[in-house]
Amino acid sequence: MTTVYSISELAQEFKVTPRTIRFYEEKGLLSPGRKGSVRVFSSADRIRLKLILRGKLIGFSLDESRDIIDLYEPETTNNRQLESLLDKISEKQLQLEQQKKEINTMLKDLKKTEAICLSALSQR
Amino acid sequence: MTTVYSISELAQEFKVTPRTIRFYEEKGLLSPGRKGSVRVFSSADRIRLKLILRGKLIGFSLDESRDIIDLYEPETTNNRQLESLLDKISEKQLQLEQQKKEINTMLKDLKKTEAICLSALSQR
DNA sequence: ATTTTGCTTTACGTTAACGTAAACGTAAGC
DNA sequence: GCTTACGTTTACGTTAACGTAAAGCAAAAT
């Protein structure tokens, strides 16, 4: 008995609206099952939604998130495709490393500003 | 003799269009000087632009970027303001740390997929 | 039995972040 | 003196990512 979710269950869990989830389906980022006309989400669908939202959080567009998610599910079978997939993975890794650097820079700058504030406060 | 920049110089350097820079001014994220009607950008303006774009890269909206940039330039003078500023800084730091975590998770997942691809390739 | 709850589709509206085009000014080069 | 390059303002257009509202079906609760 595999776990399934309704649209509103997932919406609640991830603090988005059902509209958002339907929109993701419309855009081809999700393809839940159907029981009649009603959407039925599997755990795999849930994970995909999680990945989409994670991507969103770190500034990826839905298209970019789809790219990444597709990387995780290689239905790719021949070597040429596998190699192009590896290329894309490397590219995404570089991009993510770059973002980490930017974040670290920002954190440093914030620490500086924080220190200035603190010394200003301690000085009355 | 302090360095100044034209709009197209900055546009070229940061690979954006002049329109983008004007838009940022319109939104209050930049306020370059003027020589007649012509915009004149200082090094400080250049830095601000850099910060805006850095924010963009890691998924901040322009409003969020403005918030962060304003943190760096505390014209804040009284203690209450300084303390609220410190709060905001802490908040942003948390947010950035969170993003780093998400990025690391993604990187791990990508490594997994990469390994799968590689083993699939080595197996013929 | 009927009201409520939750889901569906369809469709128009909205906001952010610019793009694009028009119409004009000005200073430099030929 | 005219063109070319670079700047300006004004204004309408565009795309992504949903919001919102209408109209309807279907199961569950009263």
Measure the CA–CA gap between A99 and B103, rounded to whole angstroms. 8
Q: Do B120 and A82 touch (CB under 8 A)?
A: yes
In chain B, residues with a C-beta closer than 8 Å to the C-beta of A86 are 114, 117-118, 121
Residue B19 amino acid letter = R
B117 touches chain A (CB under 8 A): yes
- Segment holding A41, helix H or strand E: strand A38-42
Give B82-86's long-range contacts (Cβ < 8 A, gap of 24+).
B82/A117, B82/A120, B82/A121, B83/A121, B85/A117, B86/A114, B86/A117, B86/A118, B86/A121
pLDDT tens column, A43-100 = 999 999 999 999 999 999 999 999 889 888 766 667 777 888 888 899 999 999 999 9
For A27-47, what is the mean pLDDT?
Answer: 96
User: Which residue, B71, A12, A55, B20, is CA-closest to B30?
Assistant: B20
* Contact: B58, A103; criterion CB under 8 Å: yes
Domain ranges of chain B: 4-73
CB B107 within 8 A of CB A93: yes
Is B118 near chain A, with CB under 8 Å? yes
pLDDT at B76 (0 to 100): 65
pLDDT one-digit tens code per residue, B29-88: 999 999 999 999 999 999 999 999 999 999 999 999 998 898 887 666 677 778 888 888
H helices of chain B, where? 7-14, 18-26, 43-57, 62-72, 79-122
Mean local confidence (pLDDT), B11-16: 97
Helix (H, G, I), strand (E, B) or coil at A42: strand
Architecture of the domain defined by B4-73: Orthogonal Bundle (1.10)
Task: Give A74→chain B minimum CA distance, Å.
Answer: 8
pLDDT at A38: 97
Tens of pLDDT, residues A94-124? 999 999 999 999 999 999 989 988 988 887 6
Q: List the single residue in A60, A74, A118 with the smallest CB-CB distance to B113.
A: A74
The spacing between the Cα labelled CA in A43 and the C1' in D23, in angstroms, equals 32
Q: In the predicted model, what is the mean pLDDT of chain A?
A: 92
In this prediction, residue B123 carries a pLDDT of 80
Footprint of strand C on the protein (CB under 7 A): A 6-9, 18, 22, 37-39; B 16-17, 19-20, 23, 27, 36, 56, 61-63
Any CB–CB contact under 8 A between B114 and chain A? yes
Query: How many Å apart are B17 CA and C19 C1'?
Result: 10
Q: Cβ–Cβ of B110/A71 closer than 8 Å?
A: yes
Looking at the DSSP bridge assignments, the partners of residue B38 are: B35
The token duo for B101 is 């975590």
Contact A33, A40 (CB under 8 A): yes
Residue A22, helix vs strand vs coil? helix
Q: What is the pLDDT of residue A76?
A: 65
Is residue B120 within 8 angstroms of chain A, CB to CB? yes
- Nearest by CB to B57, from A83, A99, A118: name it: A99
Of A85, A26, A30, the residue nearest A53 (C-alpha):
A30
A13 touches chain B (CB under 8 A): no
